[in-house]
Amino acid sequence: MSRVIVAPSILSADFSRIEAEVRKMEPAGAKFIHLDVMDGKFVPATTFGPDLVAKIASSAGAMIKDTHLMVEDPASLIKPFAQAGSDLITVHYESFSTDEERFACIRLIRSLGLLAGMSVKPATPAEVLLPFLPELDLVLIMSVEPGKGGQAFMPEALTKIRLIRENIAKTHRKIYLEVDGGINALTAEACVEAGADTLVAGSYLYGHEDYAQRLAGLLRL
């Protein structure tokens, strides 16, 4: 069994046939399906809300619906996305003013029976996440600026991945270490070597007839 989890990002999918686009990834080996939610405030782009998650829930099969909230007020969206069928919700460190608010949001996610994740933008030091590791199920390192697919990988993300991996080991807990942005065969290999175990891939998979072969290549890392 692969030690790497691949999370195809529907940000790069064909939304005119989104259910089929989601459905085809599980047979290819995907364990997560990545759902990028943007509000046009925290990042310039706007994507979708809980209704789309509910629409694709049955198409996702056994894949974990990995919902990444790039929004100014994530706490207000936790329950709607939980009710829509999200299995894992990741919020951004930068969306909150205080650690008290951050901890409260993590605990809200977990109180609803979901896995809780936290992410940082490229300019935010990974060290800020360390106090939250005892209560997190996933850490997401952004290797591009959030808000747009198809960007080039920022290699400085590798240092963050190594730091978080070292500190996850100290918790003796299962915490996914996910990386998102500019993932392809070469950058994915570097991320896995640095300690990542979950790879978000959008434009590398969607839009290509050989997506299954590409995904299989990531799983072999």
Does the active-site annotation cover 87?
A: no
Does the active-site annotation cover 66?
A: no
Alpha-carbon span 126 to 128, nearest angstrom:
5
Residues 6 or more apart from 151 whose CB is under 8 A from it?
144, 145, 181, 182
Spatial contact of 150 and 205, defined as CB atoms under 8 Å apart? no
Q: Which residue out of 14, 36, 87, 210 is catalytically annotated?
A: 36
- Which residue bears the tokens 């939980």? 82
Nearest in space to 88 (alpha carbons), one of 16, 5, 172, 145: 5
Q: Which residue out of 39, 66, 137, 180 is catalytically annotated?
A: 180
Spatial contact of 36 and 68, defined as CB atoms under 8 Å apart? yes
Residue 89, helix vs strand vs coil: strand
8-state DSSP, 168: H
Nearest in space to 200 (alpha carbons), one of 183, 177, 213, 175: 183
65-86 burial, b at 16+ Cβ within 10 Å, e below that, comes to: bbbbbbbeebbebbeebbebbb
End-to-end CA, the chain: 11
Q: Which residues carry out catalysis? A: 36, 180
